[in-house]
Amino acid sequence: MDNKTIFITGAASGIGKATALLFHSQGWIVGACDASRDALDVLSNELTERCPTYCVDVRNSSELEAAIADFCSQSSGRLDIMFNNAGIAIGGYFEDLPMQKTRDMVDINLVGVLNGFHASIPYLKNTNGALCISTSSSAAIYGAAGMATYTATKYAIKGFTHAMSVELSRLGIRVADVMPGIIDTPLWAGARYKNGEVAGTYEKIPKLNADLTDERRTIAPIEVARAVWSAYHGDRLHWYVPEELERSDKATSADYQKRRDELLNTRK
């Protein structure tokens, strides 16, 4: 089999779907994994071949492992890219969120990535040039009030990427992450809580940022998909979308207290 293979979690919408469409258009076989059967069916109708689908919640390690095993069995054990993309965003001040919603973010955004790594390593290590890539976020550059747990999960992915890029090199597996800013995806439909109750969503943010021209501008999901494509053909650890976020990351890393104080001043 000559076709390269990519397995994508959160594949049926937003960044995941854009990535599935891009790689499929380049002749790749796409393993599309998502928790929504309906959304997967829509994707299947668009990609009528080379796109087996798996309705799996990434929190369920055994089901994710079985899905990846089935996908790789169809390509003689080959897996060129594992894209850990599934994630949710639920906001509000930490004490206002029901603790179960906080746990959901940790379990999907972080534990789901750990599950994806663990299940895919046996196939990645047997594939020349294989890449395990995850969706981090510009939230891993500095913490945002009202998004503390989401921020924590994305910082964790960034740190895990650092560690695994070194650890998995012994197996010939490359590791990277993408760090998107404001991307126009359904993620913004996540609930915003106040006093333990849903008080709205963040759906207006992409529209509010649409006319900006700096790193806060709204970006289409295809730009992140292109970064994943570039990551496979490149050797960078972090792929920033837009690229200006890299300067912000370096500035923050150089002086976290200064960035904290700047954020405090904007809230006065």
Could you tell me the two tokens for 76? 């003689």
* DSSP conformation class of 125: T
Q: Let me know if 54 is a catalytic residue.
A: no
DSSP bridge pairs for 126: none
Handedness of CA 198, 210, 239, 85 (dihedral sign): positive
Distance CA 218, CA 24 (A): 25
Cα 173 from chain centre: 19
Q: Which of 54, 142, 150, 155 is catalytic?
A: 150
Angle at 41 between CA 40 and CA 42, to 5 degrees: 90
Distance CA 177, CA 84 (A): 9
Distance CA 131, CA 124 (A): 7
- Sole residue written with tokens 């059967």: 37
- Determine phi and psi for 91, rounding to 5 degrees: -120, 180
Could you tell me the two tokens for 258? 């200064």
Measured in residues, the chain has a length of 268
Active site amino acids: 150
